[in-house]
Amino acid sequence: MKVLAIIPARSGSKGVKDKNIRLVNDIPLMAYTIKAAKTSDICDEVMVSTDSVEYANIAKSYGANVPFLRSEKTSSDTAKTLDCVLEVLDEYKKIGKTFDVLIILQPTSPLRDAEDIKEAFKTFLKHNKSVASVCEGDNVVLLRTISDGKLEKIIEQNSTIRRQDFKKNYKINGAIYINYIKDLDENTSFNDNEIAFIMEKSHSLDIDTEWDLKFAEYLKGTI
């Protein structure tokens, strides 16, 4: 099977300016994902999908392929990851390159490493079904919404039980998605992939704020 890793890294992030190329211990954020993908030794091609020439040059300097730039349509604030993926596959097809398996690796997960990718791929091969990485999440019994200042339960369950008796919950951490390309269509939702690959919470940080960047830098300095 031929495996394509796509690292979606559009420019113009609003929450954290130029998030995907911000330096974490003097290394651009997306470079951690490029390195993890390449050193996993399971990807026939590691490509960065970006709309930016600057981002493309940085990606290439760390060993990723950027054979084309994203279109304006798939680089907008409303574009979905699926839009990017389908465009990438179509562009590759135009130059005569096809793949069997897709691995999506978000550049905002710098603590996900090559071993995580290898183990996720083993899970994919074992079950022969789509995979999404998850980590342990907050217990839904303790989650609340607030309406007019009043706490309201998400689920109707008594929360006066011991913490150790709570059932474990898991959340999609956005670090790894694996799918057969033949199964993709315009209705595909990667967050609805069937099989869980459980990652350590310490590897599951998703960069979304300046604080996350500082925390990633601290953690990278201690690993």
Residue 73 lies in a domain: yes
Q: Which domain holds residue 115?
A: 3-136+170-222
Residue 106 lies in a domain: yes
Residue 143 lies in a domain: no
DSSP the chain: --EEEEEE--S--SSSTTGGG-EETTEEHHHHHHHHHHHTT--SEEEEE-S-HHHHHHHHHTT-B--SPPPSGGGSTT--HHHHHHHHHHHHHHTT---SEEEE--TT-TT--HHHHHHHHHHHHHHTS-EEEEEE---GGG-EEEETTEEEESS-----S-GGGSPP-EEEEEEEEEEEGGG--TT--GGG-SEEEE--GGG-----SHHHHHHHHHHHHH-
Count of the separate structural domains present in the chain = 1
Residue 176 lies in a domain: yes
One digit per residue, the tens of pLDDT, for the chain of length 223 reads: 999 999 999 997 777 889 999 999 999 999 999 999 999 999 999 999 999 999 999 999 999 999 999 998 998 888 899 999 999 999 999 999 999 999 999 999 999 999 999 999 999 999 999 999 999 987 777 778 898 899 888 777 666 666 666 778 899 999 999 999 999 999 999 999 999 999 999 999 999 999 999 999 998 765 5
Write out pLDDT tens, residues 181-191. 999 999 999 99
Residue 161 lies in a domain: no
Residue 9 lies in a domain: yes
Residue 111 lies in a domain: yes
Residue 81 lies in a domain: yes
Q: What CATH number corresponds to the domain at position 70? A: 3.90.550.10
